[in-house]
Chains A and B, each alone.
Chain A
């Protein structure tokens, strides 16, 4: 500021060296800002590194006590009991069963909704329905947990009177409804990316909308649709509150959806609610469970990435 006024008062005294000095300051400031911005971007990398490091570090403490073979083959998970067993299988089973039910609900409904929105719906219907689906994504999962425990399960009990209050069916169905918007919006994006000329070709041959959608557009968008399904699986596997509230928290080795069970996520919540001392085997066990969960979601995310790459058609 002072230099600016100086220059205004004495324009003749503006020497080259002053201008260079100002230039240097300007450049220096730019560099500093760029550096700060880069540090902010690096926080994403730091988060990933932090997650991996913490999970591995605490799990290492866990696996110093428990052999990996036991961990992967024992069919009981009772780390907090006197007679402790550390078999992750019941938790994995609970996770897969609830996610499986969710997919059985979400895949058909999500796919049909996507085809309808992309190929059938008028502009107005689409403008109204898409925001509503987005709102559904924004509903907190704890609220869905309430819905599963106190609305869906009592309703199911009217159909199956012997269904216990905690079961995997109710939360599975609710989770399915919860991930419909994820699947439908991604699948719809994939179908709308199919070039118009392919539809026009199909219509020119006399095909109806339905034939065009199912035999031309959907096959051309396979990669995106499969990626949408896999994203849905990944969401269901990592979902916590719905199953923690409504599926019971008893690790059970079962594939019967009518029974209650614990998922990996529900177990972590259950232990964290209690007051376990830092460094105890129970404390470390939630990190080992978290590591398995992270591997499962990583696996599905990679699979989704590959699916998108492999089936991508060049138009």
Chain B
């Protein structure tokens, strides 16, 4: 309004304009940031909806109870999910004791020297090795040198090696979170190291270790490449021998040597066929895999969140 504004005021207006501009930049960036985050979320959602819609015609009981077939409409997942279950059993039985024991050793027993450093470097390096390399290791070592064949045992051991770093790292993290005072209290009343570990350390770190095991098993369920590499068959029209029998000795371990297929391999097999009817089967399989893995991972995340919230030392 005034024809001659004082210099200071004019500057002040400029400063205000600059602040407005910068605030606007802030605002714009926060929107861009949200969009970038949404890409991940939306992908997950689209992926899920796409699979469920494509696979919808196969969501019935026959799909789970039928053997694979040359006709897409009557092909089922029976051998695949039984195979996955058995392979995961072997993986669980191997990876959990080995991984927890290694984690406990590194955290509670290991002296600080070059030897311990070597083991630690190895564990962190193994976490970065591509899964298909584990498949090559298994092909050379388990299948041919140890002569275990292309069996459930081989696949289970391979996946166990693959998830070992996950189990070791989470075991160590949850043990590290336990305060020294707990250990000191136990030692003070005369407990040995193993008594401290088995009665206190494992007890308090159980929840954390469990999250690691669940995440590892979810990964083992979805892994395809290493299991293909050891030569899992893709067309299997028989079930492995039952692990439990009606008459003594009740347990039967022949299934360990049986040929097998697993869910992701069955999906890959159907996906690589030119016939589009099989793609529907692949989508339905994918939907099942993704639901199970999301449930497992979701449980693990929820568990970790609860532990973090509840435990106050």
A58 touches B290 (CB 8 A): no
A78: interface (CB < 8 Å): no
Render B102-139 as a binary contact track against A, CB cut-off 8 A, 1 for contact: 10111001100000001100110110111111111101
Produce 1/0 per residue, B220-245, CB < 8 A to A: 01111100111100100000000000
Q: Chain B residues near A7 (CB, 8 Å)? A: none
User: Which parts of A234-269 form the interface with B (CB within 8 Å)?
Assistant: 234, 237-241, 244-245, 265, 268-269
Give, as a whole number of angstroms, the nearest-CB distance from B111 to chain A: 11
B189 proximal to A (CB < 8 A): no
Contact pattern, A 136-155, Cβ under 8 Å of B = 1, otherwise 0: 11111111111101110000
Secondary structure type dominating chain B contacts? helix
Contact B122 A140 (CB under 8 A): no
The range of chain A's interface size is 35 or more
Residues on B with C-beta less than 8 A from A180 are 39-40
Q: Report if A220 contacts B (CB, 8 A).
A: no
The majority secondary structure among interface residues of chain A is helix
Contacts of A210 in B (CB 8 A): 22, 25-26, 29
B102 touches A265 (CB 8 A): no
Q: Whole-angstrom distance between the alpha carbons of A30 and B108 in the complex?
A: 13
Q: How far is the CA of A149 from the CA of B268 in the complex (A)?
A: 12
With contact pairs A116-B34, A138-B218 given, residues A41 and B229 touching in the complex (Cβ less than 8 Å) = no
Task: Say yes or no for A8: interface residue by CB 8 A criterion.
Answer: no
Interface residues of B in 127-153 (CB under 8 A from A): 128-137, 139-141, 144
Of B39, B131, B134, the residue contacting A109 (CB under 8 A) is B39
* A residues in contact with B37, CB < 8 Å: 113, 116-117, 129, 133
Roughly how many angstroms separate A271 CA and B282 CA in the complex, as a whole number?
A: 22
Is the Cβ of B50 less than 8 Å from the Cβ of A151? Answer: yes
A-B contact sample (4 more), CB < 8 A, given A140-B221, A143-B222, A278-B144: A133-B40, A139-B47, A142-B264, A151-B50
A/B interface sample: 27 pairs, CB < 8 A: A26-B192, A37-B104, A40-B97, A42-B119, A51-B136, A58-B140, A112-B32, A112-B36, A113-B33, A116-B34, A116-B37, A120-B33, A132-B40, A134-B301, A138-B296, A142-B268, A142-B289, A143-B47, A143-B267, A145-B268, A146-B271, A208-B25, A237-B130, A269-B132, A272-B229, A294-B129, A294-B130
5 smallest CB-CB distances across A and B, nearest first, come from A238-B130, A140-B222, A116-B33, A40-B101, A138-B297
B→A interface (CB under 8 Å): 22-23, 25-26, 29-30, 32-34, 36-37, 39-41, 43-44, 46-47, 50-51, 54, 97-99, 101-102, 104-106, 109-110, 118-119, 122-123, 125-126, 128-137, 139-141, 144, 161, 164-165, 168, 192-194, 215, 218-219, 221-225, 228-231, 234, 264, 267-268, 271-272, 279, 282-283, 286, 289-290, 293-294, 296-298, 301, 305
